[in-house]
């Protein structure tokens, strides 16, 4: 991914190609909105479609040309705001002029999720040079290693990329829902609205990052006070997995928009319950959410609340939950270890609408909150990759449901 305008040109080129001797149907006059200088290929001729498709009539060709011109103006204007300057450096230029090692530029760019470029391709802006230079400088000074450099830049690229996708799709969805636009119109409106919203989004990103960093720093600080820490799995946490039952069948039967709404509702309800319960979301993958809690009783409250609330929701299928309390370690924004594997395997065999725990987790919850939750006698089940485990279903007893009010 070397830049937005190049991607736009390639996408438009898929609409058709110019036949020999025919003029391009795309307007060639200068675009009114100045855009960031980029290398672009010749504009495509939209007067022909791909092989096997019916020819477009003049009105359709004109409509495609207008839409292409509008999108190009919008993307060009947006790039001008976002990139804050032209592409002017190659990897070699950054090394020669900014003293940034080529290997670190290459690692940074690739870790951000962008397509690698050779040493002489001009793709980096002045802002790119500052960003890469600031992080690489602390590598050169010995503050962090290249390993940490790659990990941090990979994390930034992954999460900021997902956030960018989330925000743009939220704006598209809003345009469809609030203004009744079709998908193409909604995406055009999203492109046009981002420049005026950019400052607000940027301030929200920084506020949220600082708040989250403060919260995670406090948790890390509490670990300093622990004694007899297991160096291999130093974190004691409740880990839970919850997923929607029969999601695969629903994914085949429901229209795309309805399926997306259902997944969005599941994630929204789950995140709210997890946050109110004192936990935090590790990750979501479609119909499944993975969460952490610092105490066994918080983990139990979240797990049971998820089963109760989502299963009772008329517009969501029932959910099944696996919960385990134990030791694990954290890397790359994720957690790992046998306890994590145990929770995942129990979730896969839980009945719809139920929470499944192992005997050790059941004991930890009972000690932490006596009488808060009831447990079945349980049974021995064979869990893939783990073996025979005594599992029990957990239900609410005298514990109060979560208060969702602010």
Between helix 91-98 and helix 102-111 the angle, nearest 10°, is 130
Nearest to 319 by CA among 279, 291, 347, 360: 347
Phi then psi for residue 85, to 5 deg, are 155, 165
pLDDT per residue as tens digits for the range 216-273: 787 766 666 565 555 565 678 899 999 988 877 777 777 777 778 888 888 888 988 9
Q: Where are the alpha helices (DSSP H) in 118-179?
A: 126-140, 146-179
Is it the case that residue 173 has pLDDT exceeding 80? yes
Is it the case that residue 68 has pLDDT exceeding 70? yes
Place of tokens 């909150």: 369
Is it the case that residue 42 has pLDDT exceeding 50? no
Is it the case that residue 62 has pLDDT exceeding 60? yes
pLDDT above 90 covers a percentage of the chain that reads 38
Which of 104-108, 328-332, 393-397 comes out lowest in average pLDDT?
328-332
Is it the case that residue 342 has pLDDT exceeding 70? yes
Which of 1-10, 38-47, 169-178 comes out lowest in average pLDDT?
38-47
pTM of the predicted model as reported, rounded to 2 decimal places: 0.64
Can you give the pLDDT at residue 390?
94
Is it the case that residue 49 has pLDDT exceeding 60? no
Can you give the pLDDT at residue 406?
42
Sign of the CA dihedral with 91 first, then 94, 99, and 100 last = negative
Q: Across all residues in the chain, what is the average pLDDT?
A: 82
Confidence of residue 63 (pLDDT cuts 50, 70, 90): confident
Q: Which helix (H) or strand (E) holds 406?
A: none
Contact predicate 341/335, CB 8 Å: no
3-state helix, strand, coil in the chain (%, to 5): 50, 15, 35
Question: Residue 370 to residues 49, 65, 156, 296, 310: CA-CA distances in angstroms?
Answer: 70, 69, 42, 12, 25
pLDDT per residue as tens digits for the range 74-98: 888 888 888 888 899 999 999 999 8
Phi then psi for residue 188, to 5 deg, are -65, -40
User: What value, to the nearest 5°, has the Cα angle with vertex 33 and ends 195 and 180?
Assistant: 55
What is the DSSP-derived secondary structure letter of residue 401?
Answer: P
User: How far is it, in rounded angstroms, from Cα 174 to Cα 180?
Assistant: 9
Mean pLDDT (whole number) for 181-199: 89
Which of 12-26, 166-180, 286-300, 352-366 comes out lowest in average pLDDT?
12-26
Question: Residue 132 to residues 2, 102, 152, 203, 241: CA-CA distances in angstroms?
Answer: 16, 11, 12, 21, 37
Can you give the pLDDT at residue 30?
40
Contact predicate 355/394, CB 8 Å: yes
Confidence of residue 69 (pLDDT cuts 50, 70, 90): confident
Can you give the pLDDT at residue 125?
92
Residue 291's beta-bridge partner residues? Answer: 240, 281
Longest CA span, the chain:
84
Confidence of residue 350 (pLDDT cuts 50, 70, 90): very high
Confidence of residue 39 (pLDDT cuts 50, 70, 90): very low
Nearest to 88 by CA among 214, 179, 1, 3: 3
Secondary structure (3-state) at 288: strand
Can you give the pLDDT at residue 287?
85
Can you give the pLDDT at residue 16?
44
- Residue 46 CA from chain centroid, whole number: 35
Query: For residue 168, how many other CB atoms are within 10 A of its CB?
Result: 14
pLDDT above 70 covers a percentage of the chain that reads 82
Q: Could you tell me the two tokens for 136?
A: 């690489």
User: How far is it, in rounded angstroms, from Cα 43 to Cα 323?
Assistant: 56
Confidence of residue 5 (pLDDT cuts 50, 70, 90): low
């Amino acid at each position: 991914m070397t830049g937005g305008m190049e991607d736009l040109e390639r996408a438009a080129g898929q609409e058709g190609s110019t036949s020999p001797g025919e003029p391009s149907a795309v307007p060639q006059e200068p675009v009114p909105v100045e855009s960031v200088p980029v290398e672009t290929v010749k504009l495509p001729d939209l007067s022909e479609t791909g092989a096997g498709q019916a020819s477009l009539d003049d009105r359709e060709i004109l409509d495609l040309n207008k839409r292409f011109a509008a999108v190009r103006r919008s993307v060009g204007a947006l790039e001008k705001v976002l990139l804050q300057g032209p592409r002017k450096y190659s990897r070699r230029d950054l090394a020669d002029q900014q003293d940034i090692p080529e290997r670190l530029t290459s690692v940074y760019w690739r870790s951000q999720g962008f397509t690698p470029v050779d040493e002489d391709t001009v793709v980096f802006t002045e802002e790119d040079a500052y960003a890469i230079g600031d992080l690489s400088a602390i590598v050169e000074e010995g503050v962090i290693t290249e390993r940490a450099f790659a990990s941090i830049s990979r994390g930034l690229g992954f999460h900021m990329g997902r956030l960018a996708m989330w925000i743009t799709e939220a704006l598209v969805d809003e345009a469809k829902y609030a203004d009744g636009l079709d998908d193409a119109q909604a995406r055009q409106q999203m492109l046009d609205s981002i420049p005026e919203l950019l400052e607000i989004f940027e301030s929200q990103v920084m506020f949220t990052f600082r708040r989250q960093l403060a919260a995670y720093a406090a948790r890390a600080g509490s670990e300093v006070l622990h004694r007899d820490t297991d160096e291999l799995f130093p974190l004691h946490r409740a880990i839970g997995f919850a997923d929607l039952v029969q999601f695969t069948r629903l994914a085949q039967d429901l229209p795309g928009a309805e399926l997306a709404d259902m997944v969005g509702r599941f994630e929204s309800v789950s995140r709210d319950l997890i946050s109110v319960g004192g936990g935090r979301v590790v990750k979501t993958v479609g119909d499944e959410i993975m969460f952490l809690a610092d105490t066994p009783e918080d983990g139990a409250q979240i797990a049971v609340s998820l089963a109760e609330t989502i299963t009772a929701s008329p517009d969501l299928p029932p959910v099944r939950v696996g919960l385990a309390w134990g030791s694990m370690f954290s890397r790359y924004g994720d957690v790992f270890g046998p306890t994590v594997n145990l929770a995942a395997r129990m979730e896969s065999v839980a009945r719809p609408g139920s929470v499944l725990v192992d005997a050790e987790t059941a004991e930890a919850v009972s000690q932490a909150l006596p009488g808060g939750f009831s447990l079945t006698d349980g049974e021995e089940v064979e869990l893939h990759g783990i073996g025979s485990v005594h599992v029990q279903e957990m239900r609410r007893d005298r514990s109060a449901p979560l208060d969702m009010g602010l």
